[in-house]
Amino acid sequence: MRKSIIFIKKNYCTYDGKKYDFNEFRKLSGLLTSNIKVVILQEELFVSHFENTVRRCKLCNFVDSKIRNDFPQNGDILYDFEKRGNVISIYSIKGSKRVEKVVEKAINIEIKPIQFIIKDVLMKIVRDNNRNFKALIKYDACYYYVSFRDRLYHDGFVSENKHIVEEKLLKKGDLEEIYVDDSTVDIISDNNKSKAKKVNIGEFINENIYEKQRFHSRKIF
Amino acid sequence: MKIYTKNKDFIPERFFNKVEMNTIRKENKVIILFLIINLIAFPFVVQNISETKESSKLNRNSNREEGKIKLEDISIWVKNLMKDNIEEAHITNNGGDIIVNNLSDIDELSSNGFIEIHDMNLNDNEKYKLGVSLHE
């Protein structure tokens, strides 16, 4: 069945290139299929790592208790988790209330923050054995900085303002091995420009979202 | 249908609860359907069980009757075998062997309407061993 792909932003969502306010959601719900993919944009993704030897069968209970005790209970946070070795990573992102509205009548849903899509795309592009890398990407008028350690999401930030991005990057200092695209290459300071690797990631992000076949002949770097 | 896990893949809690409720409802529906089918099938099953029980009882009775030796048959054997010309007789279940001295005795037995001769052997003592049974 055809997937309806919706982009959720801070104040509105877009479907099929058109903007929809969350108050006029009824207009949108008639257009959607029961199979929905939601891409969360403009929201910061947080991660908390816990070291624990809990077994996989009890992992859900462990994560549930951690979420109840260590995370804010405002009912607007979405979670994901994964376990690698003894490290359990719990990811959280704002937007539960908006997503709930969109998927109200759906049967099958898939929710992905843009940071996870960037991660998936970069993992495929970065063919060397580098397990620690960073990226500054501009997607849909918003800048996304993501950093991975051991191929796990470590930290990141989101901003629409170029100057804020510059300031935050300067605070971070070491920008060794950072992947940038056409729109963000000028942000990286002169000192770090030589270390920055330019990638044409925008199209790959769209292909990942719309699940199209990738053509390897295209120039990546 | 996709299986969802709580707090996994950024699935909203309300959607997860809705899916869980639907799954429970579907499971309950299946259980109720099974119960109804069982209730409908119950009389037929009971009838079949009682029928098989009765038929096995009848079979057992008929087997017993078949296995029984009638008193009339015993008297026939006694009347026909308690004679001087019959040397030996081994009868079990209305059949067995009779040993006689000469051919005239065999003639007499074969003319008898009650006893049927199947086979005949001459043994080492020059006596005739006959395989016999009652006429049906």
- Determine the 3-state secondary structure of A221 from DSSP: coil
Do A113 and B14 make contact, defined as CB atoms within 8 angstroms? no
Tell me the chain A residues in contact with residue B14 when contact means C-beta distances shorter than 8 Å. Answer: 100
pTM of the full structure: 0.70
Hey, of B10, B16, B21, which one would you mutate to test binding to chain A, going by the most A CBs within 10 A of its CB?
B10
Tell me which residue of A37, A29, A38, A35 sits closest to A8, measured CA to CA: A38
Listed residue (A98, A7, A85, A5) closest to A49, CA to CA: A85
CB contact under 8 A, B10 and A78: yes
> In chain B, what residues touch A59 (CB-CB under 8 Å)?
none
Q: Which of B135, B44, B9, B87 is nearest to A103 (CA)?
A: B9
Interchain CB distance below 8 Å, A67 and B7: yes
Which residues of chain B make contact with A96, given a CB cutoff of 8 A?
Answer: 12-13
What pLDDT was estimated at residue A29?
80
The pLDDT tens digits of the residues spanning B71-115 come to: 888 888 888 888 888 888 888 878 888 888 888 888 888 887 788
Higher pLDDT, A175 or B116: B116
A93 in reach of chain B (CB within 8 A): yes
Q: Which two tokens stand for residue A100?
A: 């709930």
pLDDT, tens only, B49-62:
988 988 888 877 76
Contact flag A60-B5 (C-beta cutoff 8 Å) = yes
By Cβ distance, the residue of B2, B5, B9 closest to A111 is: B9
Q: How many C-beta atoms surround the C-beta of residue B136 within 10 A?
A: 5
The token pair at B74 is 């015993």
A65 touches chain B (CB under 8 A): no
Q: Is the confidence at residue B33, as pLDDT, over 90?
A: yes
Contact status of A99 with chain B (Cβ, < 8 Å)? yes
Model confidence at B67, pLDDT cuts 50, 70, 90, reads: low
- In terms of CATH, what superfamily is A115-210? ATPase, nucleotide binding domain (3.30.420.40)
Lowest mean pLDDT among A18-22, B25-29, B33-37: A18-22
Q: Using 50, 70 and 90 to split pLDDT, how confident is the model at B1?
A: confident
Percent of chain B predicted with pLDDT > 70? 93
pLDDT digits (tens, 9 = 90+) for A115-164: 999 998 888 877 666 678 889 999 988 999 999 888 788 899 999 998 89
What pLDDT does B14 receive? 92
C-alpha distances in Å from residue B126, one per residue of B99, B100, B122, B130: 10, 10, 6, 13
Asked if A103's CB is within 8 angstroms of B13's CB, the reply is no
Residue of A79, A100, A107 with shortest CB distance to B7 = A79
Q: Rounded CA gap, B109 and B105, in Å?
A: 6
Nearest-CA neighbor of A78 among B4, B8, B5?
B8
Ordered by start, the domain boundaries in chain A are 4-43+95-106, 45-92, 115-210
Residues of chain A with C-beta less than 8 angstroms from the C-beta of B2: 108
SS (H, E, C) B79-132: HHHCCCCEEEEEEECCEEEEEECCHHHHHHHHHCCCEEEEEEEECCCCCEEEEE
- Contact state of A96 with B13 under an 8 Å Cβ cutoff: yes
| CA dihedral angle for residue A163, residue A166, residue A168, residue A171, rounded to 10 degrees | -130
Nearest-angstrom CA–CA distance, B98 and B130:
5
Q: What CATH number does domain B71-134 carry, 3.40.50, 3.10.20, 3.30.70, 2.60.40?
A: 3.30.70
Please list every residue in chain A whose beta carbon sits closer than 8 Å to the beta carbon of residue B6: 60, 64
Q: Are A138 and A160 in contact (CB under 8 A)?
A: no
Here the tokens at position A185 are: 């290459």
B59: which 2 tokens?
Answer: 């079979």
> Closest Cα of chain A to B25: distance in Å?
15
Contact at CB, A107 and B1, closer than 8 angstroms: yes
Residues of chain A scoring pLDDT < 70: 127-130, 174-176, 189-194, 212-221
